[in-house]
Amino acid sequence: GENVEQHPSTLSVQEGDSAVIKCTYSDSASNYFPWYKQELGKRPQLIIDIRSNVGEKKDQRIAVTLNKTAKHFSLHITETQPEDSAVYFCAAPGADTGFQKLVFGTGTRLLVSP
Amino acid sequence: DVKVTQSSRYLVKRTGEKVFLECVQDMDHENMFWYRQDPGLGLRLIYFSYDVKMKEKGDIPEGYSVSREKKERFSLILESASTNQTSMYLCASTSFGPQHFGDGTRLSIL
């Protein structure tokens, strides 16, 4: 089955800096890679996702890159703000379940200091 | 906007009790999921369902069962609660693509 590893587990940056979170996956047939943000006491919410036929996707200050050869994908946040502080989870599906079943990384706690 | 509603935000139960966690979604999604969230372990899948009365085990099904009698409702059952089941439980649903989560139930087993 799919195995997803996420690094780092914690990340502290100064406001305005960039933050990068990296995930690796094991199933080369995986084709969909979402990123979720979970603020303290709240539900995980999708912030960006990418499909395997695309190498990069951007949405304002957030971008995701995918390297299928190396089987890793990364979340990039530019010009970080205190409200970006949260736990971020990556995920990938197994090929046998399409998009329905996801395996999540263990999460990255991002702290943005003013 | 998709709404996934979990019946309780906080729940305290005693060891050995049978515990029911309820989840309802309003978007006619075929697929529903139950996760357990523990610090440092991320979200781990307990069970999921892809249709009414259909279910599949996830990664950590031991000590749990599920029920899906109606499309919009997916219940997680702790047959005989134990202290190591103290955790945050999250329900999610999807038709195709991203999963939508409920607010979670923080369950404490004493």
**What pLDDT digit, counting tens, does each position of A59-69 carry?**
999 999 999 99
Measured in angstroms, the CA of A113 and the nearest CA of chain B are apart by: 22
Tokens of A43: 């539900």
CA B20 from centroid of its chain's CA atoms: 9
Across A1-114, where does the E strand assignment appear?
Answer: 4-7, 10-14, 19-25, 32-38, 45-51, 56-59, 62-67, 72-77, 86-93, 102-104, 108-113
Q: Of how many residues is chain B composed?
A: 110
Out of B44, B98, B103, the one facing A43 most closely (by C-beta) is: B103
Which chain A residues are Cβ-neighbours of B99 within 8 angstroms? 34, 46, 102
Measured in angstroms, the CA of A103 and the nearest CA of chain B are apart by: 8
Q: How confident is the model over A74-89, as a mean pLDDT?
A: 98
Provide the pLDDT confidence category of residue A25 given band limits of 50, 70 and 90: very high
Task: State which residue of chain B sits closest to A97, comparing Cα positions.
Answer: B50
Residue A89 contacts B where some CB pair is shorter than 8 Å: yes
Q: How confident is the model over A34-50, as a mean pLDDT?
A: 95
Least confident of A73-77, B2-6, B13-17, B104-108: B2-6
Out of B31, B42, B103, the one facing A107 most closely (by C-beta) is: B42
DSSP 8-state symbol, B30: S
Please give the C-alpha separations between residue B28 and each of A33, B25, B71, B91, B104, in angstroms, as whole numbers: 23, 7, 7, 15, 20
Residue A40 contacts B where some CB pair is shorter than 8 Å: no
To probe the interface with B, which of A32, A49, A99, A108 has the most B CB atoms within 10 Å? Answer: A99
Strand pairing category for B105-109 and B100-101? unpaired
> Following DSSP, what letter does each residue of A43-71 receive, concatenated?
--EEEEEEETT-SEEEETTEEEEEETTTT
Percent of chain B exceeding pLDDT 90 equals 85
Q: What local confidence, expressed as pLDDT, does residue B6 receive? A: 96
Which residues are CB-contacts of A53 (< 8 A; sequence separation ≥ 6)? none
∠ CA B44-B50-B54 to the nearest 5 degrees?
Answer: 100
Q: Is B98 in Cβ contact with A49 (below 8 Å)?
A: yes
Q: What local confidence, expressed as pLDDT, does residue A84 receive? A: 98
Out of B31, B42, B102, the one facing A89 most closely (by C-beta) is: B42
* Nearest partner of B63 among B78, B43, B45, judged by Cα: B78
The residue with tokens 């219940």 is: B75
Please give the C-alpha separations between residue B54 and each of A18, A77, B37, B50, B61, in angstroms, as whole numbers: 44, 39, 23, 6, 15
